[in-house]
Structure 1
Amino acid sequence: MDDEQQDGRAVRVERDTMGEVEVPADRYWGAQTQRSLEHFDIGRDTFVWGRPVVRGLGLLKKAAAQANHDLDLLPDEIADAVVQAADEVARGELDDHFPLVVFQTGSGTQSNMNTNEVVANRAVEILGGELGSKDPVHPNDHVNRSQSSNDTFPTAVHVAVALELAERLQPAVDGLVLALEAKAEEFADVVKVGRTHLQDATPVTLGQEVGAWSGQLREAWGDVRHAGDRVLQLAIGGTAVGTGLNAPADFGPTVARHLADETGLAFRQADNLFVQLAAHDGLVAVSSSLRTLAGGLMKLANDVRWLASGPRTGIGELRIPENEPGSSIMPGKVNPTQSEAMTMVVTRVFGNDATVGFAGTQGNFQLNVFTPVMAHGVLESIRLLADACRSFTEHCVVGLEADTVRIAEHLEDDLMLVTALAPHIGYDKAAAIAKQAHRDGSTLREAALASGDVTDEDYDRWVDPAAMTRPG
């Protein structure tokens, strides 16, 4: 409405309860979104970067319109237009109309109103009306009907997190675990030195070592999946403080049912809506489980780069893919860059978890007003972990090779093979043999035979590195 020019750009004048605001004429957002743009120019890290939130808001507004229609609170024509517009938001077709930053009001009110305005203006357009007129579709009276920001925004965040866990992170983790399990099978018969305290230990197989990586990640993903069940509980229907004022009693369950039908995930209205508004412990739990997963990935990445270190003067038992030149000054150098990228991602995930954990303690009375930064932290961690897992799988794990010559050399030098002698000659005599071999640089066999406590035949019978990788 009231199109004008400002700095050469066409604008229209929108109105809210505080007065007139100039809005870019080609944008669907309205007065409250424009006010947030002007008042919160902090960081420019928008929810479009983490578009799962915008998708969640679109899915929620669609489900809300369907629920309001089911409950005879929206007429057919308006409900259909709102559903169509919200669908476009969910599909990402209107992302350019969601410019707001993370650092805004802590309830997400401005992002909720951004969505209401965009959906309303697009619905107005669908019905042949004029942008900014709020006729025949009003952002508050129709799109936000039976809702407040205090229950819609945490609901949209839960939807976003649940979908990202299922669609983005789970396939990436599964792919990495399966690739590691394939390598564990490939290396099942490669016997090597075990290491504890960064010192030589009794033998393991390389397959056992790699299998431990995949096993740790499988267990960590189980924790993530369990925590993810908590975000299937939705705050919708709680409205402003958890009492459900201005929403029919059936509204929240009906919205949850529509969201479940749309996504295939088991969304439901939470048992205690006051808890869902005043605390976001579901997000805290998910973030904590992501930190555990990240810890497992840190171990994996560090073990790989230690085992691949050298290649001539380090451990050098693994060969990593040569993906790119490793140095601008040292020709031919290859670095463990996938491990380095993974470990940097882990540090960011730990930082996000610190933010989410602290923000989760800041609920006051009936509302926690740190929701946007909590959403951003969890969703960024999910995205980074998923991307890092895919990259590490494709550019590192599938190309790992065992340097069996180097592994055999290390195994031959491993003085902790002496552990196999201890049940036969006693701990003290076995320890003396290992210490003597270390002092004079002899092999374990030579020191054992020189002790007089072990014959050549005894040594061959008792010291079997492959047998030492099994119980007994």
Structure 2
Amino acid sequence: MNNRAKAEMRTERDYVGVVDIPYGKLYGVNSVRGVDNLTVSPLSIAHYPEFRVAFAQCKWAAALANRDNDVVTPEQCDAISLACQEVIEGKFDDSLIVDLLEGSGGTSTNMNFNEVIANRAQQILGHVAGSYDVIHPNDHVNRSQSTNDVYPAALKIATYAMLGPLIAEVEKLAAQFDSKATEFADVLHLGRTCLQDAQPMRLGQLFGGYASLSQRLAEELTAVRDKLRTLPLGGTAIGTGFGAPAGYRSAVYKHLSDIAGVDYAAPTNSFDAMQNMDVFSRVSGELRTCAASIAKIASDLTILSSGPVGGLGELRLPEAQAGSSIMPGKVNPVLPMAMIQLSFAIIGNDVAVTQAVQYGELEINHFEPVVSSRVFDSITLLTNGIRRFTQKCVAGITADVARNEQHLMDSMAVATALVPKLGYARVSKLARQSVAEGRPLLTILDESDLLVRDDTLSEIDKASYPVFGEHG
């Protein structure tokens, strides 16, 4: 390294040795060790803004609680608080360099935040970054905390924040399906079971079912989101609270709730809160269920829009883009296909979360980074995927009314509608005749004089609505 380059570096020492750090960066020796030893993915801890914000909120609340309990000075608290606010604003993302998937049980992540906040607080007070003579990463920024309580707390806070926009997108999808249910309320449709002709229904009823499912998914996500408001802060290393003053716990939750605008609370049992991450099994399970359920709808739309000549062709999806590099004019259902594909990724993420939750050991779970990585990924995929699916696909769906009605009238499903009028045995005989002769049942009925066509259509119309009157 030449003299000019050396002049642009500051040095920090730990028990392993000395490291050089660019003057413009606020991380320290622990962050460098974490990067050198544990970088395995392309994403840093600054990649998801909600995670960066959550960690800084915890450090800010801790500083205020420590001031209240006279373990940091008001001057130190003010400097740390201001530094945390600047971290929240994203000013130092280039110094949050540790890999999101680092394998130190979160220690490298916690120390990266501690060092950045400490060094910025040093600068605010007119001191040199890296000297830590007034604000130390461990003694002051990390005071009354441990990686073991602050990391899972930040993970919960970030997940809570990220779930809000996802729930909003699922609710928008439900509203869009509900709109389509109204639009298609009077369209006769061939209901199918096991991919075989079944019973008459209305196309609006199909979309009403999709709307109901989507709304239910939003409600379940909301319910599991609420479980994230209980945090392990104050437990320090293993749940005893060792190293924190007696009044710290109540103070830190008050300040955190004020800072974040969410009513966060202490756990009933600190040891349970430190040992177990089962809430993330529930969160990830709801994300998986949401993805799989919407993928089922996407698959339905793919089948119902198949064709346009050789398939069902009962729905028309918006033509988003060319579907083939070799077959001219082919347009694929790319948006439903994308929803199905991302469900595979989210199901895989859920397996990883399940394994991480299961393999926590004794007093803590040190596999939280993979939970962070996979849960954040699932929420991001779902939020972005559902938004595009709603706007670019579902909103533009139209129905081929004539084809829907033709498929119903030409099908064996007509027979089901006639059972109350003609009896099962007689309708069964007519249905077998229809299959044997390859002719529509309506034609055979016209020839038999059993029912005039208007009466047959009336029975089909009645059969397409449930007896309990639910049309949507």
TM-score of Structure 1 vs Structure 2, range by shorter chain: over 0.9
Segments of structure 1 that go 5 or more residues without pairing to the other structure are none
Please say which of residues 73-82 and 249-258 is displaced more in the overlay: 249-258
CA gap 1:438/1:9 in 2 versus in 1, 3 angstroms: farther
1:115 equivalent among 113, 116, 131: 113
Question: What SS is found at the alignment partner of 2:461?
Answer: coil
| CA shift digits 1:197-220 (9 cap, x unpaired) | 111111221111111112112112
What pairs up with 1:2-401 in 2 under 5 angstroms? 10-166=8-164, 168-401=165-398
2:405 is equivalent to residue 408 of structure 1: yes
| Maintained 8 Å contact 1:320/1:399 | yes
- Distance in 2, matches of 1:51 and 1:226, equals 23
CA gap 1:346/1:253 in 2 versus in 1, 3 angstroms: farther
1:250 shift after superposition: 3.0
1:444 equivalent among 421, 441, 444: 441
Residue identity in the other structure for 1:65: A
1:403 shift after superposition: 1.1
- Distance in 2, matches of 1:153 and 1:249, equals 21
| CA shift digits 1:119-149 (9 cap, x unpaired) | 0001111111101001211111110010000
Please say which of residues 408-417 and 251-260 is displaced more in the overlay: 251-260
TM-score scaled by structure 2? Answer: 0.94
> 1:428 corresponds to which residue?
425
Question: What SS is found at the alignment partner of 2:237?
Answer: coil
CA gap 1:225/1:6 in 2 versus in 1, 3 angstroms: farther
1:440 shift after superposition: 0.7
2:448 is equivalent to residue 460 of structure 1: no
Please say which of residues 380-389 and 176-185 is displaced more in the overlay: 176-185
- Distance in 1, matches of 2:77 and 2:2, equals 32
- Distance in 2, matches of 1:104 and 1:461, equals 66
TM-score scaled by structure 1? Answer: 0.94
1:301 shift after superposition: 0.9
Provide the alpha-carbon RMSD of the alignment. Answer: 2.0
Question: What SS is found at the alignment partner of 2:464?
Answer: helix
- Distance in 2, matches of 1:461 and 1:120, equals 78
CA gap 1:31/1:457 in 2 versus in 1, 3 angstroms: closer
CA gap 1:21/1:4 in 2 versus in 1, 3 angstroms: farther
| Maintained 8 Å contact 2:417/2:463 | no
> 2:465 corresponds to which residue?
469
- Distance in 1, matches of 2:52 and 2:79, equals 18
1:41 shift after superposition: 2.5
1:7 shift after superposition: 7.3
CA gap 1:246/1:398 in 2 versus in 1, 3 angstroms: same
| CA shift digits 1:277-297 (9 cap, x unpaired) | 211111111001111111211
- Distance in 1, matches of 2:200 and 2:237, equals 62
1:335 shift after superposition: 1.1
Residue identity in the other structure for 1:468: S
| CA shift digits 1:17-67 (9 cap, x unpaired) | 544222232210001000111111312332222232222111111111111
| CA shift digits 1:256-301 (9 cap, x unpaired) | 2222222222211111111122111111110011111112111111
| CA shift digits 1:150-175 (9 cap, x unpaired) | 00100010110011112x21221122
| Maintained 8 Å contact 2:202/2:464 | no
Residue identity in the other structure for 2:430: I
1:460 shift after superposition: 3.0
CA gap 1:60/1:324 in 2 versus in 1, 3 angstroms: same
- Distance in 1, matches of 2:7 and 2:465, equals 73
- Distance in 1, matches of 2:2 and 2:120, equals 21
Question: What SS is found at the alignment partner of 2:20?
Answer: strand
Question: What SS is found at the alignment partner of 2:115?
Answer: helix
- Distance in 2, matches of 1:4 and 1:142, equals 36
CA gap 1:217/1:80 in 2 versus in 1, 3 angstroms: same
| CA shift digits 1:216-254 (9 cap, x unpaired) | 121122222211122111010000011110112332332
CA gap 1:285/1:250 in 2 versus in 1, 3 angstroms: farther
